[in-house]
A and B are shown apart, each in its own frame.
Chain A
Amino acid sequence: DVKVTQSSRYLVKRTGEKVFLECVQDMDHENMFWYRQDPGLGLRLIYFSYDVKMKEKGDIPEGYSVSREKKERFSLILESASTNQTSMYLCASSSQGFEAFFGQGTRLTVV
């Protein structure tokens, strides 16, 4: 079974903090994604990566950056957390256009 693991289920951070969300997949997938999910807005793509050190902006990249130094790991970075970044964050991986598999999600609260 494909496994996508996010480092935390719940996080509470203060405004202005630098926040790291980590995601690891064990299926050697080329593609990895970060989404945020908010009520009524569905899943919105923040960034995705199609190879090590390669990344592409999604629909809402402002306030976020990403890092992919190894194929299995994709990190989402909030450079200076703000309250409007309080959300559910979902990581996913896929193999070249096939179905994506999701992690369990990280519910981030910025206070």
Chain B
Amino acid sequence: ELKVEQNPLFLSMQEGKNYTIYCNYSTTSDRLYWYRQDPGKSLESLFVLLSNGAVKQEGRLMASLDTKARLSTLHITAAVHDLSATYFCASFPYNTDKLIFGTGTRLQVFP
């Protein structure tokens, strides 16, 4: 059974600083997704990582995937207030289409 764990669960960071959110998953998987959720809203797809070593970047966010370590990271560069949201990673266990989510990381960026 696939378990997806994120840390930290809560992150308060100052504008301009860098930080990384970690996503570990427990069984073999070659697909990893990152989503963003604003308060009261639904989930918005951020990144799709489909192979070992995949790296995607969008603005101040960069996501990577290491399937051997069963680890994905979401790196935040020079944080701004607009990045304040909850970020989820999600994965499919190998050979299934059952999408399993982590518990989420709530990010707050303050001046």
Q: List A residues at the B interface (Cβ < 8 Å).
A: 30-31, 33, 35, 40-45, 48, 50, 56, 58-59, 90, 92, 94, 96-105
Contacts and interface: CB of A to CB of B under 8 A. Distances in A.
Nearest to B34: A99
B31 interface: yes
15 contacts: A33-B99, A40-B9, A40-B103, A42-B104, A43-B90, A43-B101, A45-B98, A92-B99, A97-B92, A98-B48, A99-B45, A100-B33, A100-B90, A100-B99, A104-B42
B6 to A, nearest CB: 8
Contacts of A59: 100
A42 B101 CA distance: 7
B48 A99 contact: yes
A89 to B, nearest CB: 11
B54 interface: no
A98 B90 CA distance: 11
Given A101-B45, A103-B42, A96 B97 contact: yes
Interface string B73-104: 00000000000000010101000011111111
Contacts, number: 56
Contacts of A48: 97-99
A100 B103 CA distance: 17
A68 to B, nearest CB: 14
Nearest to A100: B99
A3 B9 CA distance: 30
A11 to B, nearest CB: 16
Nearest to B5: A42
Most chain A CB inside 10 Å of its own CB: which residue of B9, B43, B45: B43
Nearest to B86: A42
Contact of B97 (A31, A42, A102, A104): A31
Given A97-B92, A105-B41, 19 more contacts: A33-B99, A42-B102, A42-B104, A43-B43, A43-B90, A45-B100, A45-B101, A48-B98, A56-B98, A90-B42, A90-B43, A92-B99, A97-B31, A99-B48, A100-B45, A102-B43, A102-B44, A104-B42, A105-B42
